[in-house]
Amino acid sequence: MLPAARLALVSLLCALSAQAPAQALPPAVEAALARARLPREAVSLVVADADARLPPRLMHRADVALNPASISKLVTTFAALELLGPAYTWTTPVYLDGPVEGGVLQGNLYLKGQGDPKLVMERLWLLLRRVQGLGVRRIAGDIVLDRSAFELAPQDPAAFDGEPLRPYNAAPDALLLNYRSMVFHFVPAGDAARVQMEPPLAGTESPASVPLAPGECGDWRGALKADFSDPARVRFAGRYPTACGMRSWPVAAADPAGHAARTVGGIWQEMGGLLVGTVREGRVPPGLRPALEVASPPLAEVVRDINKFSNNVMAQQLFLTLSLQQRGTGTLAGSRELLRQWWRERLASDPPVTGNGSGLSREERITAGQLAHLLQLAWVSPLMPEFVASLPVAGLDGTARRTGVRSTGLAHLKTGSLRDVTGVAGYVHGSGGRRWVVVAIANHPHAGAVRPAIDALLEWAAREPLPAR
């Protein structure tokens, strides 16, 4: 960082860190908190000029460390943009350990995962299509999946909230395929709804249809009486309401450890490929050179998916990539240390408490002031366009699509919610032409009730006249 820029940043941090006496909250915010029966002590609020040309307009409990939920993705994604660069891509190499003769690979085919967060069904199909482009139609050996790039302890998908089949609980993997999830599509036709499972999973049976039922759509998932407990056989013992029309249901893999093998095997088979051996885990032999490799979309696009849709497993993949790139292996401890180092260098202050990079954690802690510092730093960064474009637009898209701000497009906001946590952080576009950093986080047993107060704060930031110079 240039000396002048560092001096400006230190001045900015001092201005925000000097906690002023308790300020009166905007009347509309006070009224919304009162209606929600939430005490002022349950929320932390900051409204400050995005490029620090004015003193903060509002500081309320800005130095109190709170659980930010998914707002912590702002730290992960901006740090990654700086450390890896917006054009960074993940590659997935493919290896052959034998010759191809008459359409038959006389040996094994290896896929080496290197952390690609977006190796979804379509991109895996294209990868295997390129394998067929090498002349491989039949594999005489095995398909071997190398997942050694990340070192992770075994994870229980039910540990966080007892919902192991929710896609947001999917765990990271060096060879993450289709977010470790599957999607069931339901299409009414005649007296039944057709069922399509994507991706096709080898060794997994799924009903081709389910009976239709009259009445309102309502809890259509519950009406299906689904049973995903057996990875080899999906069951729907109920009916699908006709009134629902076409619907899709994403479900996390019932056997996370075996999902990659089932996915590769299923797609290879659906493409007409033959396999004599099995799909199994293993390591690429030393000295073997890739026959081909496929690249992910650039990091700027991946960051957009992470922040717009608050994708937890993609955020964790990105977080682990920090240590993978600098230390050769992706670990949570390594990435936490790298993030702490980056924070101290770039923000010249003590770093927040990070977990897995996604905010799906009960232990993560950050202050509203720290988040405001980060957002102000990002605003004056050359990477500002990529970063801001990744945030949901209030009232229009992503997780902020239903934000209650009266005028759509007034703000770019990252939302966050867990049990006992609700908040937003981002940029509000003021009526006077200013851009304001706004952070609002509630930690309280009834934190979900804070949303009207947050909406009132966003409106106040956008509509109030500029303070006098």
Return per-residue pLDDT of the chain as tens, 469 residues: 444 444 445 444 555 544 445 578 999 999 999 999 999 999 999 999 998 878 899 999 999 999 999 999 999 999 999 999 999 999 999 999 999 999 999 999 999 999 999 999 999 999 999 999 999 999 999 999 999 999 999 999 999 999 999 999 999 999 999 999 999 999 999 999 999 999 999 999 999 999 999 999 999 999 999 999 999 999 999 999 999 999 999 999 999 999 999 999 999 999 999 999 999 999 999 999 999 999 999 999 999 999 999 999 999 999 999 999 999 999 999 999 999 999 999 999 999 999 999 999 999 999 999 999 999 999 999 999 999 999 999 878 878 766 655 556 689 999 999 999 999 999 999 988 889 999 999 999 999 999 999 999 999 999 866 555 5
133 in the same domain as 35: no
**DSSP letter for each residue of 51-109:** TSSS--SEEESTTS-B--GGGGHHHHHHHHHHHH-TT---EEEEEESS-EETTEESS-E
Q: Is residue 259 part of a domain?
A: yes
Please report which helix (H) or strand (E) contains residue 44, including its range.
strand 43-49
Which of 239, 272, 296 is the last residue before a domain boundary? 296
Q: Which two tokens stand for residue 317?
A: 């993949």
Domain interval for residue 173: 91-296
447 in the same domain as 386: yes
254 in the same domain as 120: yes
Q: Is residue 125 part of a domain?
A: yes
Q: Is residue 469 part of a domain?
A: no
Q: What pLDDT is attached to residue 346?
A: 97
**Domain at 327, CATH number:** 3.40.710.10
End-to-end CA distance of the chain: 29
Give Rg (Cα) of the chain: 25
Distance CA 30, CA 16 (A): 22
142 in the same domain as 28: no
Distance CA 456, CA 440 (A): 11
Q: What pLDDT is attached to residue 253?
A: 95
Q: Which two tokens stand for residue 340?
A: 């702490």
**DSSP letter for each residue of 380-415:** TSTTHHHHHHTSPBTTTSGGGTT---SSTTSEEEEE
273 in the same domain as 176: yes
Q: What pLDDT is attached to residue 2?
A: 43
395 in the same domain as 318: yes
Distance CA 441, CA 369 (A): 11
When divided into structural domains, the chain yields a total of: 2
Q: Is residue 357 part of a domain?
A: yes
Instruction: Please name which of 53, 48, 58, 49 lies closest in space to residue 25, comparing C-alpha atoms.
Output: 58
Q: What pLDDT is attached to residue 405?
A: 57
Distance CA 27, CA 450 (A): 15
Distance CA 339, CA 384 (A): 19
Q: Is residue 365 part of a domain?
A: yes
Q: Are strands 226-230 and 233-236 parallel, antiparallel or unpaired?
A: antiparallel
Instruction: Please name which of 290, 108, 92, 293 lies closest in space to residue 175, comparing C-alpha atoms.
Output: 92
Question: Backbone phi, then psi, for 125, in 5-degree steps?
Answer: -60, -45
Q: Is residue 81 part of a domain?
A: yes
Cis (ω within 30 of 0) for the bond into 467? no
Q: Are 442 and 423 in contact (CB under 8 A)?
A: yes
Distance CA 374, CA 314 (A): 21
351 in the same domain as 237: no
Distance CA 292, CA 364 (A): 40
Distance CA 81, CA 134 (A): 35
Q: Are 293 and 379 in contact (CB under 8 A)?
A: no
Q: What pLDDT is attached to residue 465?
A: 63
Q: Are 383 and 82 in contact (CB under 8 A)?
A: yes
Write the Ramachandran bin of 420: left for phi over 0, alpha for psi from -120 to 50, otherwise beta: left
Q: Is residue 468 part of a domain?
A: no
228 in the same domain as 367: no
Residue 293, helix vs strand vs coil: strand
Length of the chain: 469
Q: What pLDDT is attached to residue 83?
A: 98
Amino acid, res. 410: L
Q: Which residues, other chains included, contact 217 with Cβ-Cβ below 8 Å and sequence gap of 6+?
A: 241, 243, 244
Which of 249, 278, 296 is the last residue before a domain boundary? 296
- Where would I find the beta strands (DSSP E) of 97-159? 100-101, 104-105, 109-112, 138-139, 143-146
Q: Which two tokens stand for residue 250?
A: 């994403």
Instruction: Please name which of 3, 53, 45 lies closest in space to residue 376, comparing C-alpha atoms.
Output: 53
270 in the same domain as 167: yes
241 in the same domain as 104: yes
237 in the same domain as 125: yes
Q: Are 232 and 204 in contact (CB under 8 A)?
A: yes
Distance CA 261, CA 228 (A): 18
455 in the same domain as 325: yes
Q: Are 242 and 188 in contact (CB under 8 A)?
A: yes
The three-point CA angle 268-273-277 to 5° equals 85
Q: What pLDDT is attached to residue 52?
A: 81
Which of 234, 261, 296 is the last residue before a domain boundary? 296
